[in-house]
Amino acid sequence: MCAWIKAVFFIALLGLAIYTTVQFVGPYDRELTFKSDVKEILKFELQSTDDATTKILDKAKRLHVPLDPENLSVTLDNGQFRAQANWSETVNLFNQYQKKLNFSFDIESTKQEGG
């Protein structure tokens, strides 16, 4: 009987660990993907800061990154585009525990014509 209880406990603990990991991986994966995509946008796809802002916000929406326009700044100085942003996501575990994750980036890239 004792071995059976240990096995059930171990399986439950393993399930909890997997569930928690899956809940936290999503926001961090979105952050990494979003940063990579913003770097590409800043390098090749821009006409103006307004164009960059629109494309970055569109990318955030498609990746389900909760980025509000007031938390995004795009500037152009001497041919260098710079994007700064911050946002938060909340991980909800079993509707009992919530953890707020804060993300930000400051990416600078040279504008390349014809890319």
Write the pLDDT tens digit of every residue in 61-74: 999 999 999 999 99
Q: What single DSSP character describes residue 47?
A: S
C-alpha 29/C-alpha 3 separation (Å) is: 38
Asked whether the beta carbons of 104 and 85 are under 8 A apart, the reply is: yes
The total of other beta-carbon atoms located within 10 Å of residue 84's CB is: 14
C-alpha 16/C-alpha 3 separation (Å) is: 20
pLDDT at 45: 64
Strand order in the sheet with 97-110: 72-77, 80-93, 97-110
Which helix (H) or strand (E) element contains residue 55? helix 49-62
- Chain mean pLDDT for the chain: 90
pTM beyond 0.85, yes or no: no
